[in-house]
Amino acid sequence: MAGRSSQSRNDYRCSIEKNQNGKYCIRMRVQYPRHSWSLGVFFLASSFDRAMKKLGESLHFLQRNEEKLWFWGVDRAEDMAFSAEFLKDAGLQIDRRNEFPRKSAILSLEPERDAPASALGFMRRGLAESVESGRVQLAGD
């Protein structure tokens, strides 16, 4: 088997924003290089802490189910309803929006490996700063 290669890492772009109802909307766009495809998902959470807990669970789910998601989402696109249901069971929804916020945290992981706690901490800090700067802009000038 080949050694670690930067080409074989899954890239997760994550953004956070508060919606009009005060809920946190976490959007994730995953680039899976093994099959050259991407998947956009999102979920809502009532607090920042819940959003970060769910983010960790979602990263784990998306890492562990890459093959299944690709098979049902791309290879068998006519069965997209199954893929949407599979994501819904994990508390995720397909994000069909094309634009992705500029302020995002990025995490690269080897396929089928869990994110280390240090990487999740780094992502949490980046998203917290994003929310804080959003509050300043809303309240400011």
141 residues of the chain, pLDDT tens digit each = 344 444 589 999 999 999 999 999 999 999 999 888 889 999 999 999 999 999 999 999 999 998 888 876 655 555 556 677 888 889 999 898 888 888 888 889 888 788 888 888 888 888 988 887 765 333 333
Q: Pseudo-torsion of CA 127, 138, 20, 55, nearest 10°?
A: 0
CB 123 within 8 A of CB 103: no
Q: How far is CA 71 from CA 32, 66, 86, 122, in A?
A: 12, 9, 12, 31
pTM: 0.80
